[in-house]
Amino acid sequence: MKIVSTVNEVREQVKAWKKEGLSVGLVPTMGYLHEGHASLMKKATEQCDKVVVSIFVNPMQFGPNEDLDSYPRDLDKDAALCESIGVNLIFHPEAEEMYSPQFCSYVDMNVLTEDLCGKSRPVHFRGVCTVCNKLFNIVQPNKAFFGQKDAQQLAIIKRMVEDLNMDLEIVGCPIIREEDGLAKSSRNTYLNEEERKAALVLSQSIFLGQKMAEDGETDAKKIIAAMTEKIETEPMARIDYVKVVDGLTMQPIDVIDRPIVTAIAVYINEKARLIDNFHYSPEMQ
C-alpha cells in the first residue's frame, strides 16, 4: 500500500491501473478511521479491483466555531487499518495541495442542503460538495463509497453526481453501530465514559421512531414528539433537530407516504454534536 500526498502521484497511479483495465473505488474520509469506515473499505475492495482512501480533514466544510482544530487525527493507525483491509493507495494531502491561495471555485446546491445539518452548519455542504467533486476529478473512480450515517450528505452527493453528469456510481453503506447501539463516529472520542453513556439516547430514540414507523404510524409529528421526549430524558443532551424528511429531497414531510429519512442531531454536554438516522419506506412493509 502506498501513501501519497500530491494530486500528481494519485493521477499517475490511477492512470497505470486504468491502462491495465482495472476498476477503481474511492472511499473519501477525514481519517481517524473506525469500523464504519472499515465497512466502506471492505465493500470497496469487494466491488473494485483497486481501492483509494482519501484522508483529508477538509477545512472548507467546517464553520468558524466548529471543531476543525480539535478534529482527531492518527495517520499511522489509519494506515494500518487500510493496509489490513487491502486498500491500495492512501491520498493524504495537505490543505495547500487541495486549495491554492487563488482558489475560488465551489459546488453549491440548494433544496437538499437547506434543512437538517445544512441549517445549523450553513457552509458545511458547500465544502463537502466541493471537496468530493475535487476528489472525484483527481481519482476518477468507477465507484465511491459513503456511509448512510450521514444520510443528508449521501443524498446530496448522489444528487450532485446526477445533476452534474459525473461519471461514477455512488454506493451507500449501512450505519455501523457499537454493541450498545451508538452509531460509530470519530466524534464519539470527544466523550468521557459518562457522556458516552448519555449519548445512547440518540440510538434509543432512533430505534423508538423506527419501531413506530414499522408498526404503521404515518404521522411524522407523532414520531418526532416521541423521539424528542425520549432525548429530553437525558440531561446532558441538547437537541439540534429531530426531523422526518423525504428520502430524496431532504425536505420535511408530515405524512409518511413515501421513502423517508428520520434524522437527528444532538449535542452531548456541548462537547460533541452527534447525528443518527433511520430510513423507512412504506413499500418495505
User: Residues 28, 36, 93, 141: which binds ligand PAF (CB under 6 A)?
Assistant: 28
Cα–Cα distance measured from residue 105 to residue 135, given in angstroms and rounded to the nearest whole number: 14
Among 61, 253, 89, which Cα is nearest to 153's?
A: 61
Q: Which is nearer to ligand PAF, 39 or 61 (CB)?
A: 61
Q: Which stretch binds ligand PAF (CB under 6 A): 6-14, 22-30, 196-204, 223-231?
A: 22-30
DSSP per position, 47-65: H-SEEEEEE---GGGS-TT
Q: Which is nearer to ligand PAF, 177 or 197 (CB)?
A: 177
Q: Which is nearer to ligand PAF, 148 or 204 (CB)?
A: 148
Q: Which helix (H) or strand (E) holds 237?
A: strand 237-246
Least Cβ distance, residue 224 to ligand PAF (angstroms): 25
Least Cβ distance, residue 31 to ligand PAF (angstroms): 8
User: Residues 10, 25, 29, 244: which binds ligand PAF (CB under 6 A)?
Assistant: 29
Please compute, for residue 161, the number of CA atoms within 13 A of its CA located in the half-sphere on the CB side: 21
User: Residues 13, 39, 61, 277: which binds ligand PAF (CB under 6 A)?
Assistant: 61
Find the catalytic residue in 37, 92, 124, 279: 37
- Is residue 58 at the binding interface for ligand PAF, with CB under 6 A as the rule? yes
User: Residues 30, 53, 98, 160: which binds ligand PAF (CB under 6 A)?
Assistant: 30
Supply the Cα-derived Rg of the chain in whole angstroms: 19
Q: Which residues are CB-neighbours of 96 under 8 A, at least 6 positions away?
A: none
Q: Which stretch binds ligand PAF (CB under 6 A): 27-35, 68-76, 96-104, 239-247?
A: 27-35
Helix (H, G, I), strand (E, B) or coil at 272: strand
Q: Is the dihedral of CA 203, 208, 213, 214 positive or negative?
A: positive
Q: Is the dihedral of CA 125, 129, 131, 132 positive or negative?
A: positive
* Catalytic residue status for 124: no
- Is residue 173 at the binding interface for ligand PAF, with CB under 6 A as the rule? no
Cα-to-chain-centroid distance, residue 10: 23
- Is residue 36 at the binding interface for ligand PAF, with CB under 6 A as the rule? no
Least Cβ distance, residue 262 to ligand PAF (angstroms): 20
Give the number of other CB atoms < 10 A from CB of residue 253. 15
Here's the x/- map for ligand PAF, 113-152, by CB under 6 A: it reads as: ---------------x--xx-----------------x--
Cα–Cα distance measured from residue 135 to residue 128, given in angstroms and rounded to the nearest whole number: 10
Residue 225 grid coordinates: 414528539
Cα–Cα distance measured from residue 127 to residue 83, given in angstroms and rounded to the nearest whole number: 28
Cα–Cα distance measured from residue 244 to residue 256, given in angstroms and rounded to the nearest whole number: 8
Least Cβ distance, residue 28 to ligand PAF (angstroms): 4
- Is residue 234 at the binding interface for ligand PAF, with CB under 6 A as the rule? no
Binding residues for ligand PAF (CB under 6 A): 28-30, 58, 61, 128, 131-132, 150, 153
Q: Where in the sequence numbering do the catalytic residues fall?
A: 37
